[in-house]
Structure 1
């Protein structure tokens, strides 16, 4: 049942002395249980905010505002015109997700400012205090502006009270978000992407990000001095950060605050800051698992392009459909089905793909029809090569073809360092493009997952046809590069995945990649690959390996594990070291557990208190076999069963770079 409550709240204000000894009025808003508090004041007529978690000051007074075109300073010379406080409390239900019902409970303070100069520009700053963090955004209301507004810089800073360890990837690099995370002190950072996760010296776990990004540039963070992080909006090619008319609303600047690492994952602040569902419960939006020929292409068995080793042929597609149907799954992805693929398809140039014409040796109509006979639906694929001029000319025809064929999901790729070889994927141009395509897809009853995308800022709440995206270094790097080190997979849940579902493409059970490029392999165990389906959240999960590599008993877990959940609990975790996550199936009484570690072997005790205290369960356990780790018999999985209940403690042994996956089947 949804409950909504909007109440007036008393405005809290106090007077304190600033550095010059003057009295200045301070306004504050605290979260519902008082865990987090935001203070706002004008210091020499410039807006400043600070943040406390309990008795710990997290953010000391920090700058706000903008620089506009012609060096116009929109960050000072303000008066406070009005301050409004309110409370909001509702529980809303996700169409699909890692948790079915989410409570959105916050206290809000809206500060209305006006400059004292002749233009008398107005600015509204909205602050929200949650028990799992804080957020604020800027609203520039309509006020008779005749010319377009050009934002040249956003002056928002986060002045951390103390230094801490940050897990980060660099911004403004050719491979977008696809880099290995490094950890180093905040005070040593350059310019980095968000989510940026920090463990402060006081032990708090912090995540800086943004939510509800619409018609605005995405933010990166730059360290210029001490432990200060400053917003650095991703620019257009001409250097302008944001160009709008009449009015603008920034994305929410978000700071999630946890006392342990799992608190960050169990926070739904990013989703809560997005607008409610605009699509209802569309029948074409469904969580699922899928097979594909993608991995065979990455390990060199097949090619994306036409030729002797062409992957996308009618015969290959039928073989994969037969396998998908035999294993009881219903979705299959075939990349390379269309014209335009060449051996240089991934290089930076304006590639010319067709989105309606089938490649030689591939008959789209026949493949779709054969799939329907077998109960297998094809997933569409559009690789744009970042040539959006070409894509926009064909998008309606491409989507209409899929609707005609009864295809309801499309993967859309954007390989290339810049869109149209000119604009960043995460500038205002890219932000608007990706949202436009999402809305366009809904017109054709299509759900979407993006590769090489803009990062997630919670759009899936508003548009549940936004299933997942890549936006990080995924499994494919194990196929043809030095690979992802063992700690990568226990960093991702606390960094990239705090923004939203990731299409990591797990499920490679032949971790030594015997059919692939010499010397390339997955730096982890098969049991760890199983655990990813619980530890890595996505409503769509690929079973990435070759069909013949699934002829092993451990494959049963991948057939059983769902992709839609009622509840999620992080049972124990340390960033970059290990994680144990439990999730309850939305469509049964079963729970699933995944536990993963970095290169260090671990023994972990897991209290099963999340289980129904009145029930008994069969624990179906898939663990690293004795003596197994990344380099010793990594494919060996020990499968066992035992009867358990909520009062029990499950003891797990994880080999180095290993894992354990468990299904708790209610008896």
Structure 2
């Protein structure tokens, strides 16, 4: 190690908090420690720029290349001439909005390398991971031909990896970003198949690493593919779309017919997305990670007071299949007024009109069966907001008119669907629509979307994202949902909120489940569904089933609607990837706790020390004694608890447990 590096580490050891600069023309190796000194990031600037990461004495990332290739052949990062380096220590906090906690600690050490040629790289070491990003300081615009983002590993580790297996139009970069996880060795990952982040790697001594990205703006998203040599993953990026045609579901999509030989055209002076590796010593740590939120750009909405997260009564999943009414149920005014009555009765903040309320090709043509103003006014009289579904292409074609018109009518938000891409042009749509919607005080739920990368912090009117294989899939699929449900909190949820749409009131065990479109059921127990409202992060959270079923199950419905969608504090209690998870969240003076298991029946011991001082009552929903035969079976009870208690919880196969814990009177 060079003497300058020893001096750098010594300064960290002294806890000095001021920035300093090292002129490093001769020094081509740099090291950065996390604030707790557990993580060590090393950068080597030679013929290739490479970075590596250790957690304690164990290798997380072996030396891996990073570079940006520009049109014309210039490669930023290869044979880089470092002109200066600057290291700083940051210890601050973020006041979060519409998140799983109100205060996010933001502590890291940062290394900035400035390079000859108007570019540089920023590296950060947190106590729970690392990140890096390129930046450029050039006057003219840039064409990025490709990016080299390597993640090399020492051994043939097991990974949880979701393949792109539903490519549209024979274009591997057009996908719904939904799939189950393959749990396989790196060497067994298909060489010719793309996967989408986040991806989890299992390391020695139960450590885990999750690869994803943050602050994606004016740039394509990162897919991952195995390298032809060694145990490695490398970033792949969608080329820029040059020609598109209207196609797909009801012609709501734009299929790419021709792509460019570059991935982005962009400003010459800018910061590029963060490449990040989240590192955990235990599985449980992954259940409460803030890395993507911390790396995102701060809010661009000056006054967010109009942004109101909450729940929504949803129509599409249950196929408008209400009964015991005196009108023909369907996409019509009477049905939605009925949904409003249901929402008002249970203090659900919103209803959603999904596909069918407007012409599929013209978002401004409302079907004759719908009197939208009457529905909105009726909702307003009942203190229930109205959201609208829309395909992204019709909304993009008439963005200003649609937002202006429907905001004046009184619409609270849009659920936008079928983007199914993350090339630069589509990423630009996400930001452009978020900004325009904010100008009209419209909230957004990006369905048919790539995973979140922090847009929800930058534009907090964006409440939710799909990019997850949600409950809608039970309408046509027999795959293992309890397994998936106990996997995504450790991987996909790290990226941000999930539009999973839980709340099924017909619950089946493994043997009795059937995929049915009009009267769908869930895999697993009722309490498995209830727990999702605590475990899954979702500021805009749907009740997927129909009002008839909810009113038949008033006890469960009251519990669901009592759970907030954003929280002041989150505590990860217990868990193991793909097996089970347990999370506690607090809002004001009330705690909400959820646990779920895969198809394996499970007993866990729940430590209530997070409650703190005082005496509490817990309203508990637990799997009934016959839940293994009939998933609907559950038991509700109210018990006295304190922070000294450890509750023994039994979950049936595909089961769950949920509780609301409040101060005893």
| TM-score bracket relative to the smaller structure | 0.7 to 0.9
Contact 2:49 2:79 in 1 (8 A): no
- Among residues 656, 662, 666, which one is paired with 2:663 in the alignment? 666
- Among residues 447, 462, 475, which one is paired with 1:451 in the alignment? 447
Contact 2:124 2:131 in 1 (8 A): yes
Superposed displacement of residue 65, structure 1: 0.9
1:74-95 deviation digits (Å, cap 9, x = unpaired): 4423211111111112112112
The aligned counterpart of 1:275 is 297
Contact 1:113 1:123 in 2 (8 A): yes
Aligned equivalents of 2:465, 2:432: Cα separation in 1: 16
Contact 1:325 1:374 in 2 (8 A): yes
Contact 2:395 2:402 in 1 (8 A): no
> What pairs up with 1:359-378 in 2 under 5 angstroms?
359-378=367-386
SS of 2:160 mapped into structure 1: strand
The aligned counterpart of 2:281 is 259
The aligned counterpart of 2:430 is 434
Contact 1:301 1:309 in 2 (8 A): no
- Among residues 363, 366, 375, which one is paired with 1:358 in the alignment? 366
> What pairs up with 1:508-519 in 2 under 5 angstroms?
508-512=504-508, 516-517=516-517
Superposed displacement of residue 606, structure 1: 0.5
The aligned counterpart of 1:625 is 624
Q: Residues 517 and 504 (structure 1 numbering): CA distance in 2 closer, same or farther, change over 3 Å?
A: closer
The aligned counterpart of 1:124 is 120
Superposed displacement of residue 627, structure 1: 2.9
1:262-288 deviation digits (Å, cap 9, x = unpaired): 212322111111122221442221121
Contact 1:125 1:136 in 2 (8 A): yes
The aligned counterpart of 2:35 is 32
Contact 1:596 1:657 in 2 (8 A): yes
SS of 1:243 mapped into structure 2: strand
> What pairs up with 1:409-428 in 2 under 5 angstroms?
409-414=413-418, 425-428=421-424
Superposed displacement of residue 10, structure 1: 5.9
1:243-299 deviation digits (Å, cap 9, x = unpaired): 2242342200001101111212322111111122221442221121111212222xx
Q: Residues 483 and 161 (structure 1 numbering): CA distance in 2 closer, same or farther, change over 3 Å?
A: closer
Superposed displacement of residue 407, structure 1: 2.1
Specify every segment of 5 or more residues in structure 1 that has no aligned partner in the other structure, as ranges: 16-22, 115-120, 303-307, 342-351, 418-424
TM-score, normalised on structure 2? 0.87
Contact 1:95 1:281 in 2 (8 A): no
- Among residues 382, 398, 407, which one is paired with 1:394 in the alignment? 398
Aligned equivalents of 1:113, 1:282: Cα separation in 2: 39
- Among residues 304, 313, 317, which one is paired with 2:336 in the alignment? 317
Superposed displacement of residue 487, structure 1: 0.1
- Mean alpha-carbon deviation: is it higher for 536-545 or for 278-287? 278-287
Aligned equivalents of 1:168, 1:655: Cα separation in 2: 27
Aligned equivalents of 2:479, 2:189: Cα separation in 1: 24
Q: Residues 356 and 495 (structure 1 numbering): CA distance in 2 closer, same or farther, change over 3 Å?
A: same
SS of 2:378 mapped into structure 1: helix
Contact 2:159 2:199 in 1 (8 A): yes
Q: Does 2:12 match 1:8? A: no
> What pairs up with 1:162-561 in 2 under 5 angstroms?
162-171=155-164, 173-174=167-168, 175-190=175-190, 191-224=194-227, 225-236=229-240, 237-297=259-319, 301=321, 311-336=330-355, 338-341=357-360, 352=361, 354-384=362-392, 388=393, 390-414=394-418, 425-512=421-508, 516-517=516-517, 521-550=521-550, 551-552=552-553, 553-561=555-563
Aligned equivalents of 1:427, 1:275: Cα separation in 2: 20
Aligned equivalents of 2:519, 2:330: Cα separation in 1: 23
> What pairs up with 1:155-166 in 2 under 5 angstroms?
155-166=148-159
Contact 2:318 2:520 in 1 (8 A): no
Q: How many residues align?
A: 611
SS of 1:8 mapped into structure 2: coil
Pairwise CA RMSD: 2.4
Contact 1:153 1:233 in 2 (8 A): yes
TM-score, normalised on structure 1? 0.87
Contact 1:12 1:28 in 2 (8 A): no
Q: Residues 311 and 240 (structure 1 numbering): CA distance in 2 closer, same or farther, change over 3 Å?
A: farther
Specify every segment of 5 or more residues in structure 2 that has no aligned partner in the other structure, as ranges: 1-14, 169-174, 241-258
